Amino acid sequence: MSFASMNRRNFLGATALAGAATVAGPHRARADDTVKIGFLAPLTGDVAAWGLPGLYGCEIWAEQKNAMGGVEIGGATYNVEIVSYDNEYLPDKARTGAQKLIAEDGVSFIEMLGGDTMPAVTPIANRAEMLVSTLLPSDLSPDTPFLVAPAEVHPIYNLTGVWWMAENMPDAKTAVICAQDDAIGRPSVATYLAAFEAHGVEVKDTIFFDISTTDFAPVMTAMLAHKPDILCLDTAYAEFVNELCKQAFVQGYGGQIVSCTADFYADIIANTSEEFMDGVIFQFPDFDDPALNDPRINFDDPNGFFQTYNERYPGQWGAVSWEYASILDLWLDGARKAGSIEPAAVLEGMKQGGKGAHAFGEADWWGEELFGIDNALVGDWPVVQIQNGKAVIVEFKNIPEWWSEHGGTMIEHFEEMGEMWYQRA
Amino acid sequence: MDLAVFIQTCLNAVYASSYLALVAVGLVLIFGVMRVVNFAHGELYMAGAYALFWVFHQTGLPFFLGVAVAIAAVGALGLVMERALFRPMRNNPLGGLICSIGALLILQAGAVALFGVRKKSFAGPYNEAVSLFGVESLTISGQRLAVIAFAVALLGALWVFLKKSRFGWALRAVAQDPDAAALQGISIGRISMLAMALGAGLAGAAGALTATIVPTGPYMGHSVIIGAFIVIIVGGVGSLEGAVVASILYAFVSTFVTTIWDGVVADIAGLLLMLAVLVARPQGLFGRPERA
């Protein structure tokens, strides 16, 4: 049909067809080219500090990938969309969120914090064969074949801080541990007990407190009554660490503090003093640390990521800010190896060769002895110390090396705490 | 437990009983006059803490001005709740209770919307440790001492108000027998407003005074309201003296058990205390037995 011969009816018909093609075509193409990642973690409530900052990190990760034209997997290019659901660290909400993300949103992968929310999600993930990640490998068991812990080996990495202290502070011989009584606190206590025992530090007492605790003065009085060389704050929630440090400061403690996290440590310093917090050992670096520019680090431009993050979300950098994003790196690596975004294929790709490109260097898929399944990616982990008001990586320690010598001690303490996978089941 | 730890634990318990008494006495006032179990009382405590955060920490105004603003603002919030929620439900206790749960959720959501989910931890003006009795290891922060002093002052002022003023007499009369009080010409509506403003103001004061000691967050009212309910059951529902005595008893039991065993056992001990009192004296320590 020549343009000249086109009458009004043909013109309108052709325009309508073209319009429909214009509207429908690109939409369908975009949908096909988008991979959705579920983010199912606490964004509000007491545990939000280990969820929300991670979502911010994932959004930056996705934006950066999309700005470069998307991610290429199996010959196709995908934009990445993060679909978040706030589980408030409540099992019921986590279950609802998992159902929504899988059935309604059609996500290809779900990132979770884990802990108390994981048992509610596991049956749904298993039924759907959905790949799920957790920050807490203590969630792993042979009943969780689609669950991986590829970034954080909580609480096992806590041993590196104790190990470093034993080498560098040999006079510190006694410790007291406190922890909230939950699925995050208890396995962490087992880890610290094992690490202290392995390095000849006597643990005078372990004090549990309820997660609804607001006044930490009695807890700290109980701890200081033992006159410990080391105060171990375990994996206390971010606000708890802050309050415990405030109390230690007010009640005149002058010894060493070790903690899994020291999120928002600038606030803690403001509430105590730079001198008091100097020397505190924990496990999570700021990503502007020069040690992270080492070629073995598998995280794109950590310093740039840290800068972007802080510009966009000032004061929000915490332990998990980079972790969920680093899991996306590992997921992408697995998807590329598999040439697919199908969850089962990606899992196979991730675990190919028994090794993975962990953020802190090449690591092994590990965990059979402790979790009953090799779904935790374990290698080096940094020991971080506050020096002159700033978090500094003082050394990377190799977890498998420690395990080869003291693994039995760790298993004993996990058993005593009832945290071995067969006890949890 | 050596002597220093014992005295330190006593100090911790005195602090805990002081702010708990402020919250519990407010709750008793509201229940006594309005017969409403105010589940949102913990959120009034939270509102007081945020008021102080805003006035003192955000705008840099003096701490005690922040406390005064918190008392006034939360008292006003109590008035709004009385007029909008509880007065229409005056003859419907279940309706009042459900309204208070609604208020709880609204206040929590409001705090999230205004201040975000992250808890605020900020230092007060008297953060430095004060050594007591010349013992270096025996310390308490000046901030905690301020809470204790203020709680004693506020509760003392309330006692004088209730015992010596006409409004206080009227309030006690309504609490004892609303119908007889109304026949004497006392306005139940006005006295309800007064009780709500006083009760809310006390919760606001407790929140403001402790805001620099505990993390201020949208859900901080939970643990406080649970403790306050235990206290008013132990003390005797409706008894102001009972609320004060039970606050001291509960705080000492909880603090000592935390120090000797741990915090989880302390929660159980608090509930066991309530159970023991209910078994031995169902009306509570200072409550009056229900007439058949």
CA dist A239 and B207 (Å) reads 17
**Cβ neighbours around B95 below 10 Å, total:** 15
A271 contacts B123? CB cut-off 8 A: yes
Please give the Cα distance from B160 to B156 (Å, whole number).
6
User: Across the interface, do A225 and B16 touch by the CB < 8 Å criterion?
Assistant: no
The reply to whether residue B122 touches residue A45, judged by beta carbons under 8 angstroms, is: no
Domain with CATH 3.40.50.2300 in chain A: 33-154+299-378, 158-282+384-392+417-424
From chain A, the residues in CB contact with B141 under 8 A are 250
pLDDT tens digits, one per residue of A192-251 = 999 999 999 999 999 999 888 888 989 999 999 999 999 999 999 888 999 999 999 988
| pTM, entire model | 0.79
* B260 vs B69: CA distance, rounded Å: 39
**Distance, first Cα to last Cα, chain A:** 72
pLDDT reading at A114 higher than 70: yes
What is the H or E stretch that residue B246 is in? helix B240-260
Specify the 3-state DSSP secondary structure of B130: strand
Considering only residues A419 and A274, tell me which one the structure prediction assigns the higher pLDDT.
Answer: A274
Quick one: pLDDT at residue B290?
A: 65
Quick check: B123 and A207 CB within 8 A?
A: no
Least confident window among A116-125, B80-89, B119-128, B188-197: B119-128
Q: Where does the pLDDT of residue B15 fall: very low under 50, low under 70, confident under 90, or very high at 90 and above?
A: very high
Distance CA A89, CA A78 (A): 31
More confident residue, A6 or B54: B54
B17: contact with A, CB 8 A cutoff: no
Percent of chain A exceeding pLDDT 90 equals 75
Do the chains contact at A215 and B213, CB–CB below 8 Å? yes
A42, A113 contact by CB (below 8 A): yes
Whether B58 has its CB under 8 Å from any CB of chain A: the answer is no
Residue B36 in this model has a pLDDT that exceeds 90: no
Please state, in angstroms and rounded to a whole number, the distance separating the CA atoms of residues B201 and B10: 27
User: φ and ψ at A273, to 5 degrees?
Assistant: -160, 160
In whole angstroms, how large is the CA radius of gyration of chain A? 24
Q: What is the dihedral of CA A26, A27, A30, A32, to 10 degrees?
A: -110
Residue A214 contacts B where some CB pair is shorter than 8 Å: yes
**Which chain B residues in 126-185 lie under 8 Å from chain A, judged by CB atoms?**
127, 129, 136-137, 139-141, 144
The strand pairing partners of A174, in sequence order, are A202
Q: Using CB atoms within 10 A of its CB, is residue A77 exposed (0-12), middle (13-18) or buried (19+)?
A: exposed
pLDDT at A19: 42
Provide the pLDDT for residue B153: 96
Residues 6+ apart with CB under 8 A from A366: A374, A376, A377, A378, A400
pLDDT over threshold 60, residue A144: yes
Q: Virtual CA dihedral for A172, B123, B262, A210, nearest 10 degrees?
A: -120
Output the pLDDT for position B291. 57
* List of residues 6+ apart from B126 with CB closer than 8 A: B141, B142, B143, B145, B146
- Residue A353: left if φ>0, alpha if ψ -120 to 50, beta else—which one? left
CATH topology of domain A158-282+384-392+417-424: Rossmann fold (3.40.50)
Looking at CA atoms only, how far is residue B259 from chain A in angstroms? Answer: 4
Q: Contact A208/B262, CB-based, under 8 Å?
A: yes
Burial class (CB in 10 A: 0-12, 13-18, 19+), A30: exposed
Q: Are B153 and B162 in contact (CB under 8 A)?
A: no
pLDDT, mean over chain B: 90
CB contact under 8 A, A218 and B9: yes
State which CATH number among 3.90.700.10, 3.40.50.2300, 3.40.50.1820, 3.40.50.1980 fits the domain covering A33-154+299-378.
3.40.50.2300
Q: Two tokens at A68?
A: 């470069």
Residue at B10 is within a domain: no
The band of B176, judged by pLDDT with boundaries at 50, 70 and 90, is confident
The stretch A406-419 carries a mean pLDDT of 94
The beta-carbon neighbor of B117 closest among A45, A225, A270 is A45
Find chain B residues with C-beta within 8 A of A214's C-beta: 214-215, 220, 223-224
- For residues A84 and A93, give the distance between their C-alpha atoms in angstroms, rounded to a whole number: 13
Taking CB atoms and an 8 Å limit, are A217 and B12 in contact across chains?
yes
Name residues whose C-beta falls within 8 Å of residue B152's C-beta, 6 or more positions apart in sequence: B18
Percent of chain B at pLDDT exceeding 70:
98
Domain count, chain B: 1
Q: pLDDT tens, A293-310?
A: 999 999 989 999 999 999
* Residue-level pLDDT at A26: 37
Residue type, A256: Q
**Residue A14: pLDDT band with limits 50, 70, 90:** very low
A220 within 8 A of B262, measured Cβ to Cβ: no
> CB B117 to CB A52 under 8 A?
yes
Indicate whether B233 belongs to any domain. no
Spatial neighbors of A400 by CB under 8 A, at least 6 apart, are: A364, A366, A378, A379
CA dihedral A54, A55, A56, A62 (to 10 degrees): 110
Are residues B263 and A246, on separate chains, in Cβ contact within 8 Å? no
According to the model, what pLDDT value does residue A195 have?
97
| Contacts with A319 (C-beta within 8 Å, 6 or more apart), sequence order | A50, A238, A260, A261, A263, A283, A284
Note the pLDDT of residue A204. 96
| pLDDT for A15 | 41
A246 interface with B at CB cutoff 8 Å: yes
Q: Is residue B140 part of a domain?
A: yes
Helix (H) or strand (E) holding B138: strand B135-141
Task: Please judge whether A252 and B140 are an interchain contact, meaning their C-beta atoms are less than 8 angstroms apart.
Answer: no
Residue range of the domain that includes B97: 19-218
Quick check: is B206 in a domain?
A: yes
Predicted confidence (pLDDT) at residue B45 exceeds the cutoff of 90? yes
Mutating which of A50, A89, A221, A269 best tests the B interface, going by the most B Cβ atoms within 10 A?
A221
A49 — contact with chain B (CB < 8 Å)? yes
Is the CB of B140 less than 8 angstroms away from the CB of A271? Answer: no
A273 touches chain B (CB under 8 A): no
List, for residues A167-191, the tens digit of each pLDDT value. Answer: 999 999 999 999 998 888 999 999 9
Is residue A4 predicted with pLDDT exceeding 90?
no
Does any CB of chain A come closer than 8 Å to the CB of residue B111? Answer: no
Report, as an integer, the average pLDDT of A76-92: 94
Query: Is the pLDDT assigned to residue B126 strictly greater than 80?
Result: yes
pLDDT of residue A20: 42
CB pairs under 8 A between A and B: 107
Q: Which pLDDT score, from 0 to 100, does residue A32 have?
A: 55
Tell me the shortest Cα–Cα distance from A175 to chain B, in angstroms: 16
Question: What would the mean pLDDT of A393-399 be, rounded to a whole number?
Answer: 96
β pairing state of A230-232 and A256-258 = parallel
- Best residue of A43, A88, A244, A246 to probe chain B, by most B CBs closer than 10 Å: A246
Cα(B98)–Cα(A339) distance, integer angstroms: 55
- pLDDT tens-place string over residues B232-277: 999 998 889 999 999 999 999 999 998 888 888 888 999 999 999 9
Query: Is residue A35 less than 8 Å (CB to CB) from chain B?
Result: no
Q: What is the mean pLDDT of chain A?
A: 89
B242 within a domain of the structure (yes/no)? no
Q: With helix as H, strand as E and coil as C, how does chain A read?
A: CCCCCCCHHHHHHHHHHHHHHHHHHHHHHHHHCEEEEEEEECCCCCCHHHCHHHHHHHHHHHHHHHHCCCEEECCEEEEEEEEEEECCCCHHHHHHHHHHHHHHCCCCEEEECCHHHHHHHHHHHHHHCCCEECCCHHHCCCCCCCEEECCCCCCCCHHHHHHHHHHHCCCCCEEEEEEECCCCHHHHHHHHHHHHHHCCCEEEEEEEECCCCCCCHHHHHHHHCCCCCEEECCCCCHHHHHHHHHHHHHCCCCCEEECCCCCCHHHHHHHCCHHHHCCCEECCCCCCCHHHHCCCCCCCCHHHHHHHHHHHCCCCCCCCCCHHHHHHHHHHHHHHHHCCCCHHHHHHHHCHHHEEEECCEEEEEECHHHHCCCCEEECEEEEEEEECCEEEEEEEEEHHHHHHHHHHHHHHHHHHCCCCHHHHC
CA dist., res. B107 & res. B99, Å (int): 12
Interface membership of A22 toward B (CB under 8 Å): no
Distance from CA of B203 to the nearest CA of A (A): 16
